[in-house]
């Protein structure tokens, strides 16, 4: 059962932030939506209205894109020398850390996630992402090439080299599950490479992006370089269609990802996509069972399962299936369900009524199709659902095939390595995969055969600014983080000089 906990006193600075009228950031100015419309964002644990924010739409996106265009084309931003850019990114990282408590509390309030996770993971990782990309500007290199130039006379000489240059105006559309971190993954590499940005946060969780906007201004990001427009899907659609946007980077559902690809066709803007998943987590007979049980639970319950890389298809070797399931059920049953501001809470509310309906729909569909809830299986009060593991599933069930985005997993027995690799790979997705074994050869063999952008051995959710992240198949296009994001936000030019 859920419990209620007195909200801790909010810091005066956070109270001040929440009390002020929220504005969108265009060309360095905080303004209302052109229409004057607003929408309300809520605490999903209590239903309390937290703030009203501008409902930006196509006209605001247009203003923001013009500002980003101007900043890119007519200022020296794209040509800042590396040390200056590095100092700016480093300063943003430091300023995020200086407001870490406010960011963590705001993220927990707006999204519902545990305050401790928001502090230890979301906020620290966001600061780390800016720190990591602060190191890149001085390391971006081209090559010196040796062309043969077949039409030139034998004694002609050439000097050819390549340069990595920014792509231009980047539209960035982010989801509600890790609101600040997704803003950091998008903005940090874009700034490190000299692009300009129009960011569209998710309508459920706009607040930490707006606080980040204040910090970007304070750090000295020039006017128009980062613009932040809160709003609904229509604002995201306007951004992905806009003919003056050079690249769109999106994280969210596969369904909207496909719409973005279609909308991008008008001016053939570059597109990178980080979409859904239905990731396998495989427990071999030789695994350390205790750590595998813990890792499997963390795999599908982190952020109440609202994580694109969640390990929701659990495959367990038949020789340990019953024993493993018994331990899994016992520990899942013991997970505390409650609001994010209770330090005991592991399972916190889902982000919205829409998400609750979606997850409850899958719970019902699973039961109706004949799956058995080993543990959980029902909604709790408010936007809370019980952490759930289904057994007795067949591969055609929606709970085995589709992304649920709630604390729900299926546990499936297997008998051989080839069989489980094939089953794990039978998915339209390919974002992540976990495997649990103490056999080093098996770990390498299986890791190399799984169709997934990230494979984790004897661990899960092992994300890091230095490690590329993204998906095979319909889990997306391109990779974010690591050096890969530098490639994502630059384009290569070759220059040839006849000497």
Does 403 sit near ligand NAP (CB under 6 A)? yes
Does 295 sit near ligand NAP (CB under 6 A)? no
**Does residue 129 have an active-site annotation?**
no
Spot the catalytic one: 86, 241, 274, 386: 274
CB of 272 to ligand NAP, least distance (A): 13
Q: Which is nearer to ligand NAP, 276 or 295 (CB)?
A: 276
Window contacting ligand NAP (CB under 6 A); options: 122-130, 170-178, 297-305, 436-444 = 170-178
Does 405 sit near ligand NAP (CB under 6 A)? yes
Window contacting ligand NAP (CB under 6 A); options: 83-91, 146-154, 161-169, 229-237 = 229-237
Does 109 sit near ligand NAP (CB under 6 A)? no
Which of 51, 199, 221, 237 contacts ligand NAP by CB under 6 A? 237
Q: Which of residues 335-394 bind ligand NAP (CB under 6 A)?
A: 355, 358
Count of residues engaged in binding ligand NAP, rule: CB under 6 A: 27
Distance between CA 200 and CA 202 in Å, rounded? 7
**Does residue 203 have an active-site annotation?**
no
Window contacting ligand NAP (CB under 6 A); options: 50-58, 135-143, 247-255, 380-388 = 247-255
Does 175 sit near ligand NAP (CB under 6 A)? yes
Does 260 sit near ligand NAP (CB under 6 A)? yes
Q: Which is nearer to ligand NAP, 86 or 203 (CB)?
A: 203
Which of 2, 108, 177, 348 contacts ligand NAP by CB under 6 A? 177
Report the candidate in 121, 240, 264, 94 with the shortest Cα–Cα distance to residue 182: 121
Q: Which is nearer to ligand NAP, 219 or 432 (CB)?
A: 432
Window contacting ligand NAP (CB under 6 A); options: 48-56, 159-167, 196-204, 409-417 = 196-204
Does 251 sit near ligand NAP (CB under 6 A)? yes
Q: Which is nearer to ligand NAP, 202 or 225 (CB)?
A: 202
Q: Which is nearer to ligand NAP, 175 or 194 (CB)?
A: 175
Does 311 sit near ligand NAP (CB under 6 A)? no
Which of 44, 252, 349, 407 contacts ligand NAP by CB under 6 A? 252
CB of 355 to ligand NAP, least distance (A): 6
Please give, one letter per residue, the 3-state secondary structure of 156-188.
CCEEEEEEEEECCEEEEECCCCCHHHHHHHHHH
Q: Which is nearer to ligand NAP, 121 or 321 (CB)?
A: 121
Distance between CA 290 and CA 297 in Å, rounded? 11
Q: Which is nearer to ligand NAP, 39 or 90 (CB)?
A: 39
Q: Which residues are catalytic?
A: 274, 308
**What is the binding site for ligand NAP (CB under 6 A)?**
173-177, 200, 202-203, 232-233, 236-237, 240, 251-253, 256, 259-260, 274-276, 308, 355, 358, 403, 405
């Amino acid at each position: 059962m859920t419990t209620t906990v007195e909200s801790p006193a909010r810091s005066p600075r956070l109270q001040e932030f929440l009390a002020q009228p929220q504005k969108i950031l265009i060309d360095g100015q905080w303004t209302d939506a052109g229409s004057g419309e607003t929408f309300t964002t809520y605490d999903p644990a209590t239903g309390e209205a937290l703030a009203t924010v501008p409902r930006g739409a196509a006209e605001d996106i247009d203003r923001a894109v013009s500002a980003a265009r101007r900043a890119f084309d007519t200022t020296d931003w794209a040509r800042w020398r590396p040390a200056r850019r590095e100092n700016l990114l480093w300063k943003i990282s430091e300023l995020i850390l200086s407001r870490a408590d406010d960011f963590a509390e705001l993220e927990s309030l707006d999204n519902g996630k545990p305050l401790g996770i928001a502090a230890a993971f979301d906020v620290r990782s966001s600061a780390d992402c800016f720190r990591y990309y602060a190191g890149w500007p001085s390391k971006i290199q081209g090559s010196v090439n040796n062309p043969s130039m077949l039409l030139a006379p034998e004694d002609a000489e050439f000097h050819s080299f390549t340069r990595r240059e920014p792509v231009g105006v980047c539209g960035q559309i982010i989801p509600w599950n890790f609101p600040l971190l997704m803003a950091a993954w998008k903005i940090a590499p874009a700034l490190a490479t000299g692009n300009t940005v129009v960011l569209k946060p998710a309508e459920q969780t706009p607040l930490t992006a707006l606080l980040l906007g204040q910090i970007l201004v304070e750090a000295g990001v020039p006017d128009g370089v980062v613009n932040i427009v809160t709003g609904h899907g229509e604002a995201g659609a306007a951004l992905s269609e806009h003919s003056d946007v050079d690249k769109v980077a999106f994280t969210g559902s596969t369904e909207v990802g496909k719409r973005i690809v279609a909308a991008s066709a008008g001016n053939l803007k570059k597109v990178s996509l980080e979409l859904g998943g239905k990731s396998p987590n495989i427990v071999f007979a030789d695994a350390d069972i205790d750590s595998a049980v813990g890792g499997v639970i963390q795999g599908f319950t982190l952020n109440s399962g609202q994580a694109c890389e969640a390990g929701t298809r659990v495959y367990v070797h038949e020789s340990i299936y019953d024993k493993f399931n018994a331990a899994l059920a016992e520990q899942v049953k013991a997970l505390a369900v409650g609001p994010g501001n209770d330090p005991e809470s592991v399972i916190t509310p889902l982000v919205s009524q829409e998400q609750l309906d979606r997850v409850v729909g899958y719970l019902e569909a699973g039961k109706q199709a004949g799956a058995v809830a080993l543990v959980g299986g029902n909604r709790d009060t408010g936007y809370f659902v019980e952490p759930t593991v289904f057994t007795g599933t067949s591969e055609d069930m929606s709970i085995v095939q589709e992304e649920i985005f709630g604390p729900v997993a299926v546990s499936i027995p297997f008998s051989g390595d080839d069989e489980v690799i094939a089953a794990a790979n039978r998915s339209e997705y390919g974002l992540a995969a976990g495997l649990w074994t103490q056999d080093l050869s098996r770990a390498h063999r299986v890791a190399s055969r799984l169709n997934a952008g990230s494979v984790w051995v004897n661990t899960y959710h092992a994300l890091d600014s230095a490690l590329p992240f993204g998906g095979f198949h319909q889990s997306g296009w391109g990779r974010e983080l690591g050096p890969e994001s530098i490639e994502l936000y630059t384009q290569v030019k070759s220059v040839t000089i006849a000497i």
